[in-house]
Amino acid sequence: MRVYISVDLEGIACVATTKDAWSDGNNYELARRLMTGEANAAIQGAFDGGATEVVVADSHGPMDNLIPEDLHEDAWIIRGQNRAACMMEGVESGDFGAVMLVGYHAMAGTWGGGLAHSFSGDVAQMRLNGIAVGEMGFNTAYAGHFGAPLALVAGDDRLAAEVEALAPWAERVIVKHGINRIASRNLAPKKARALIQARAKVAVERAARGEMKPLRLESPVRLEVAFQTPQHADRAAVVPGAERLDGTTLVYTGADMVEINRAWMAMMRLS
Ligand SMILES: [Zn+2]
């Protein structure tokens, strides 16, 4: 089975502040090492569970965070920017039996969600067919379109609650508990990695037994995005087909998640 792993940074154990997570912050080098450690744990767990190939997408900010020479030598690494499918680049091949989202965080506006946001700081709320989603939800629906099921998510307790609501079959690894936006109670990195590796093995084994299902949204798919300010919406509103609902909200209706993803990438990059 091929396994796809998308790795973000804000949901990694012991990444708590913007100083940790932003690439110009003084703790960024530490955060990169922690991120690489959790990515390696997920990769090893996937192979332990029977994966034949593992593809990892570096999916935070500059998309070049993972430290190449420290990475598990048996995985492929997708690195670099301007990707059409952003955090899920490559999942379109349609032959991934399990998707893992590691280091992920809760959606924008989540109370107590560590460094919570949705794709950019410009978004207040996103909905797909009326369901509030953040990066986890959007990416799960995108992968689901190609038949790839969400099998594991690692991040904080607020993110785990999102997963419970949207994809209750998926393994959830809670590596920290939110205290506020820039404070959390964390597992030590070694403990977090051990848990991720163990649950990743179980996730792949369960996926092989058919216990994980692709999240497929009903067509047409309606994306609603409330931006933080009218100025963000002004910039994104030029996307062909985007409708303005009010000062800050745009709506786009597409046949499927492929169309929605394109529209959203255009809105996000313009906003
Ligand atoms: Zn993110």
C-alpha 266/C-alpha 34 separation (Å) is 31
Residue 196 has pLDDT above 90, yes or no: yes
Please write the tens of the pLDDT for every residue from 142-185: 999 999 999 999 999 999 999 999 999 999 999 999 999 999 99
- CATH number for 221-270 (one of 1.10.10.10, 3.60.20.10, 1.20.120.80, 3.30.1360.130): it is 3.30.1360.130
**Letter for the amino acid at 194?**
A
Beta strands in 81-122 (DSSP E): 96-102
Ligand 1 is an ion; residues with CB less than 5 A from it: 8, 135
Q: Which two tokens stand for residue 99?
A: 């998707």
Gap from CA of 10 to ligand 1 centroid (Å): 6
CB 144 within 8 A of CB 215: yes
Gap from CA of 160 to ligand 1 centroid (Å): 15
Residue 23 has pLDDT above 90, yes or no: no
Residue 254 has pLDDT above 90, yes or no: yes
Gap from CA of 109 to ligand 1 centroid (Å): 13
What phi and psi, each to the nearest 5 degrees, are found at residue 38? -70, -35
Please write the tens of the pLDDT for every residue from 63-118: 999 999 999 999 999 999 999 999 999 999 989 999 999 999 999 999 999 999 99
Quote the mean pLDDT of the chain: 97
Q: How many CB atoms lie within 10 A of CB 92?
A: 16
Q: Using pLDDT thresholds of 50, 70 and 90, give the confidence band for residue 24.
A: confident
Please write the tens of the pLDDT for every residue from 35-61: 999 999 999 999 999 999 999 999 999
Question: Would you say the C-alpha torsion 38, 43, 46, 48 has a positive or negative sign?
Answer: negative
Percent of the chain with pLDDT over 90: 97
Domain boundaries, the chain: 2-119+135-208, 221-270
Active site residue: 60, 72, 105, 117, which one? 117
Gap from CA of 181 to ligand 1 centroid (Å): 14
Question: Would you say the C-alpha torsion 240, 245, 250, 255 has a positive or negative sign?
Answer: negative
Is 232 noted as a catalytic residue in this protein?
no
pLDDT at 204: 98
Closest C-alpha among 144, 111, 112 to residue 128 = 144
Q: Which CATH class is domain 2-119+135-208?
A: alpha beta
Gap from CA of 8 to ligand 1 centroid (Å): 6
Strand partners, 249: 226
Class of residue 168 by CB neighbours under 10 A (exposed 0-12, middle 13-18, buried 19+): exposed
Gap from CA of 11 to ligand 1 centroid (Å): 8
pLDDT at 214: 98
Q: Using pLDDT thresholds of 50, 70 and 90, give the confidence band for residue 126.
A: very high
CB 42 within 8 A of CB 200: yes
Please write the tens of the pLDDT for every residue from 235-248: 999 999 999 999 99
CB 221 within 8 A of CB 129: yes
pLDDT at 264: 98
